[in-house]
Amino acid sequence: MLLASPWIHAQDSSDEEEEVFELSPFVVDGSDDQGYRATSTLAGTRIRTDLKDVGSSISVYTEEFLKDIGATDNNSLLTYTTATEVAGVGGNFAGTGNGATLTEDFSSPNQSTRVRGLDSADNARNYFLSSIPWDGYNVSRVDMQRGPNAILFGLGSPAGIINVTTDQAGFKDDNEISLRFDSNNSIRFNFNLNRVLIEDELSVRVAGVRDDKKYRQQPAYQDNQRFYTAFRYEPKFLNSDSSSFKITGSFETGQIESNKPRSVTPQDRITAFFNESGAVLNYDSEDVLTSIDYPLTAGTGGWIGDPYGVEDQSGDYGLGENRLELGDGGILNPNYLPAIGNFGQNYGGPLTVFPDSSTTNVSGTTVHEAKLYGGLNADGSIDNTLYFPYGRLTSIDTYTSYADQANLPYADAGVYKNIYLQDETIFDYWNNLIDGPNKREWYDFDTKNLAIEQTFFDNKLGYELSFYEETLDSGNLSLMNNSSNIAIFIDTNTHLGDGSENPNLGRAFISDSSSSGNSVGTTERDAMRFTAFTEYDFREQGSDGWLSRLLGKQRFSGMYSDSDTYSDSVNFRRWMVDPSIYDELVLAGADSSWNDNAVTVNTVHYLGDSLLGQSSASGSYLPGVSAIHDVTSGTYYSFDATWNATGVDPSAAWTTPVGDVSTQSENPDNYVGWTSREYPIINALTGNTLTDYRTVTGASMNSESIESEALVWQGYFWDGALVGTYGWRKDTDTAKVLNASDANAAPGVRDTVTGHVDVFNSNYDLALVDADVQTGQTQTWSAVLHLNRVLNDRLPLNVSLYYNESENFRPAAGRVDLFGEALSSPKGSTEERSILLSTKDNRYSLKVTDYETRVSNISSGYIDGSWFLGGFLEWGTEWANVAEHNISDGYTLDGVWDPSDTSNSWRYDYDGEAEAIAGWRAFTEAVAENYPQYLEAWSFNGDINSDIMDFSNSGPSGLTYTQDGISRGQEYEFTANPTENWRIAFNATRTEAVRENVGGAALIEWIDFVQDYIQDTPAGDVRIWWAGGPTIRDGFNSTFYSNYSLTRLLEGNSNPEVREWRFNMVNNYAFKDGMLKGVNLGMGYRWEDEVVLGYPVLEVEEGVVQYDIANPYYGPSLDHYDFWIGYERPLNDKINWRMQFNLYDAFADKELIPISVQPNGDWAGVRLGSTTTWSLSNTFTF
């Protein structure tokens, strides 16, 4: 945009008369920037080069530009820059993809970004890769390289690089203090002081910031504290008129604490409660129910029910509304409600209830699904069973589950999306965080930078030796993290597990487990870089002949660098049940049940009063959680299956409540029954420190050493009319990756039965891991032709032509595919053609670039449910064994399966199961024969064709799914200085970006193989849980294949949220005299084109669907208007005061922006649009 305006010169002709201070070829510090105009960059070749002579797509954003628009970080800058997007509140895309479920990432210290619609950009500080987010308090300019550049980073993101140049110490005393506050009650204070200690020899700079940022969503915040110091030393005895020597260094330390706002609304799992079910029952001539048709709109008609009745297939306890079929004969259930289902992670574990959103009180913890461990057989022996109907608390299910369960058209193709709240009168997502103060993120960091540089012969020969270190300690804590559970539910249960009436019937709530979304980690970087150059100018040898002019100036540079990166991350449960009571909750005992759902801490947080009797959830204005909700030790309420009926014979006859004859061993009244017990809880954290490692669920360590060599040639021919650049680079990446889940790489670290991770195990050590070494060579070349220099200034405009080709790869050693095979590193390439037009007075310039950027083998985040690629084989094998071997309790072999035995009808006793089991055996035998590497990679315990029940698996360490992408488009960058005090910058981009080969070759091959068995043979008919349970085909389709199928259907179509056109404009006018002297007025305008949200579905042949890409569904175009007014004046001879008022999104209304749609075009996922805010800053310089 702006600084792709390389021809623009200062408007004051006196500039040419001022003494020119020649900067080091290794430095671009912003001192030569004027307004929005920058004339040089390091981003092209690492040696300072005029922007007009750089062939690659580079834009530079100056300190003046940052101040005008009020930008202090990626989030506030990238909405204005060329071909860039940034996620988060106030951003210009969600960054969640547009799959069935939308997931925001709060763990990254840098906001999610995207360049040219393809991939995120790498972040760099002074051209060293960095994990630390930048802040404008010590930044003089931002350089953005779009597309790969082998010279800069042969290793790195193929999308581009965002590099910030930090302030260096200068040889002039200057000071700046600034205070800013805004409409959300944020306060930002920063200072930047430079002192010369020895004139023209030694100086030091000190800067700091305290930014307490608040958001409209309460209580979201981000507190940012940083301190920075830099020094510059140029000893006179090593400097002369023709040579220079300099040592510079800097240090920064900082802490960021945050509870970031949510830009995606909560999932809507409450509205369906008020909708009518709309079921149409179809009967045959004999009045037998043959089928049920369900509408696209999910509904229950305000249904409430008992947790035992809703799960009952027999008709003894209720209507079985959660069961499609009744009894053992597969009779359709006319009362089936496919919109109801489970909530949170409630699978039989303890449920802790917070009865109110504004207090910290816990009303109790209950295990609602009775644990029957200790139950007796008729002979008095323990068989861990008794007569007790199965029941589970329910609420509204996800919309994708409804689509599957209701068998909506094309549901098996995954075309439906979960629905997100779009009514702020249900919950005011504009002003409130749904989980309140119970989510947070933190980052503690420090950096060190030291550079030694020396030049000779008037900057004709020189070198720079630089060192960089950084350490980042980070973490995040969540109350709700499972993407399907960031939702508002409604309590539909008339009774609780113990049969008592539910006091919270009809109340809205949120719920999730503490198992995910919690992590701590450390990243350490240590780099060294040596750069040297030499140049020769044939024109300086006293000859102005044509040959000297033709050969012009030739520059050669070389670079050697060595960098090491180490990262260590640990995932943990926020809370967990102390193992001392595991044997009360699970049959297998404490040592084998650490990862069982039955010992997972689940929480329910009620919001507001009961909604029963209302016709709609609209107008409920539910509150978000406003208090800290912490689970602590106490008591829990559960069924104790300890026999206490003294004198009662277990074998004596007993009649069940439904009239069946049984024995007293099955009578719940003969046991202790519902009672309170001790509930010891382990809290993982003390402050921000993980203090109890028993909570660890996963861990990984990574180390990477990169050795790089590069050679660059730049040739300036015919007085600089033709500029050629060629760069060659070789990178050797040596990486080690150790995932604690990988039983092959880290034996004994994760218990193969419990799943518990022991990070102190001696085998959890990178020293024991073999290194993966990858070497790559990349090239860049470009040519620039300045036509007016060739034609002796005969054209009415300055015209320059550009061509650029470049490539790079992102080292990603340690990534493996589905079969555990190493994946090659992601690669990128770009081809660009540009033309630059500028007026003779250089007041106006326009650069137009046509580009094609390709990326291959990049990591893909578009496949939901991929954990089930191992889980489906585990589950199918376990439940096939339960049926075939009549395993009564999941761990004991009772004998050979007998189809005629109906004593365990809750399991398998129906026709067709034998065929299903035979089909499954054929499938697993084919897996073992054709894909033994899959079984090894997924660390299956035992032979999948054996008769055990308790299988487990864990994905291979470094498991990664990949995709390719291509982006084509045009970029327009216009800059104008109509007068000395009026500056205008404008950019526009046209982008077409698509993804291809999603999942990678191994996954595509594996799915094709699995589909032949799961979809087309009886193997897919194996039932899980019980005879009336879902088939393994149902589980595979709903959990994974529907998501995968949707992604494959979208291949070749536009990437999510890519808008074909974007325009950005910045306009500032400063009054230099008259009544308004000192005043500046500015305006910014941003326009975003309509966006493709999805497509109608076409059935091209029976069972085969595709999207109608000729008739897409569009989301609206967007406008953003920003205004600012400033005033500047001296307060005295030494102090200057500058005030600026910025108004952002001046005409914005609360507008939801669609992300995804259903097949009929209805909005599914949405994000919050920007709202009007303002800031006022006061800056004093002296």
Is the same domain home to 909 and 1035?
yes
Mean pLDDT for 704-731 is 93
Using DSSP bridges, classify how beta strands 553-572 and 519-537 pair: parallel, antiparallel or unpaired: antiparallel
Residue 1076 has pLDDT above 90, yes or no: yes
Residue 903 has pLDDT above 50, yes or no: no
Q: What's the whole-model pTM score?
A: 0.88
In a domain, 1025, yes or no: yes
Give the sign of the dihedral formed by CA 347, CA 348, CA 349, CA 354. positive
Please tell me which residue, 601 or 51, carries the higher pLDDT value: 601
Residue 1013 has pLDDT above 50, yes or no: yes
- Predicted local confidence at residue 745, as pLDDT: 67
Is the same domain home to 904 and 1039?
yes
Mean pLDDT for 102-124 is 86
Residue 18 has pLDDT above 50, yes or no: no
pLDDT per residue over 255-300, tens digit each?
999 999 999 999 999 999 999 999 999 998 888 899 999 999 999 9
In a domain, 471, yes or no: no
Contact 605, 625 (CB under 8 A): yes
Contact 12, 114 (CB under 8 A): no
Mean pLDDT for 943-963 is 69
Least confident among 66-70, 106-110, 458-462: 106-110
Residue 228 has pLDDT above 90, yes or no: yes
pLDDT per residue over 1042-1065, tens digit each?
778 777 777 878 889 999 999 999
SS (H, E, C) 431-462: CECCCHHHCEEEEEEEEEEEEEEEEECCCCEE
- Predicted local confidence at residue 951, as pLDDT: 61
- Predicted local confidence at residue 1035, as pLDDT: 80
Is the same domain home to 898 and 1043?
yes
- Predicted local confidence at residue 368, as pLDDT: 93
Least confident among 1-10, 46-55, 351-360: 1-10
- Predicted local confidence at residue 1049, as pLDDT: 76
Tokens 């790969």, residue?
148
Is the same domain home to 882 and 1023?
yes
CATH of the domain at 135: 2.170.130.10
- Predicted local confidence at residue 1040, as pLDDT: 80
Instruction: Using pLDDT thresholds of 50, 70 and 90, give the confidence band for residue 44.
Output: low
In a domain, 775, yes or no: no
Element (H, E) at 352: strand 351-354
> Which residue from 1157, 954, 1155, 975 is spatially nearest to 1059, judged by alpha carbons?
1155
- Predicted local confidence at residue 1043, as pLDDT: 73
Is the same domain home to 914 and 1037?
yes
Mean pLDDT for 696-723 is 92
- Predicted local confidence at residue 421, as pLDDT: 98
- Could you give the CA distance from residue 47 to residue 31 in angstroms, rounded to a whole number? 17
In a domain, 954, yes or no: yes
- Predicted local confidence at residue 191, as pLDDT: 98
pLDDT per residue over 832-889, tens digit each?
999 999 999 888 999 999 999 998 888 776 676 777 787 788 888 878 877 776 665 4
Task: Determine the residue type at 747.
Answer: P
Mean pLDDT for 695-715 is 91
Contact 832, 83 (CB under 8 A): no
pLDDT above 90 coverage of the chain, percent? 57
Is the same domain home to 159 and 272?
no
In a domain, 570, yes or no: no
In a domain, 302, yes or no: yes
Is the same domain home to 140 and 283?
no
Is the same domain home to 922 and 1045?
yes
- Could you give the CA distance from residue 425 to residue 1069 in angstroms, rounded to a whole number? 43
What pairs with residue 383 in β-bridges? Answer: none
Please tell me which residue, 595 or 671, carries the higher pLDDT value: 671
- Could you give the CA distance from residue 530 to residue 151 in angstroms, rounded to a whole number? 14
Domain extent, residue 929, equals 868-964+1000-1049
- Could you give the CA distance from residue 1064 to residue 1056 in angstroms, rounded to a whole number? 21
Encode 348-363: b = buried (16+ Cβ within 10 Å), e = exposed: bbbbbbbbbbeeeebe
- Could you give the CA distance from residue 1031 to residue 1035 in angstroms, rounded to a whole number? 6
Is the same domain home to 1022 and 884?
yes
Instruction: Using pLDDT thresholds of 50, 70 and 90, give the confidence band for residue 11.
Output: very low
- Predicted local confidence at residue 485, as pLDDT: 87
Of the residues 1049, 1065, 1084, which one is the last residue of a structural domain? 1049
In a domain, 406, yes or no: yes
Mean pLDDT for 488-516 is 95
Of the residues 1019, 1049, 1079, which one is the last residue of a structural domain? 1049
Tally of domains within the chain = 3
pLDDT per residue over 797-844, tens digit each?
999 999 999 988 776 767 788 888 888 878 889 999 999 999 998 889
pLDDT per residue over 126-159, tens digit each?
999 999 999 999 999 999 999 988 776 656 688 8
Please tell me which residue, 488 or 596, carries the higher pLDDT value: 488
In a domain, 983, yes or no: no
Q: Extract the tokens encoding 401.
A: 């589950």
Angle at 757 between CA 755 and CA 763, to 5 degrees: 120
Of the residues 166, 185, 202, which one is the last residue of a structural domain? 166
Please tell me which residue, 769 or 26, carries the higher pLDDT value: 769
Is the same domain home to 276 and 162?
no
Mean pLDDT for 481-490 is 87
> Which residue from 1067, 994, 1050, 1064 is spatially nearest to 92, judged by alpha carbons?
1064
Please tell me which residue, 990 or 388, carries the higher pLDDT value: 990
Q: What is the mean pLDDT of the chain?
A: 88
Residue 1028 has pLDDT above 70, yes or no: no
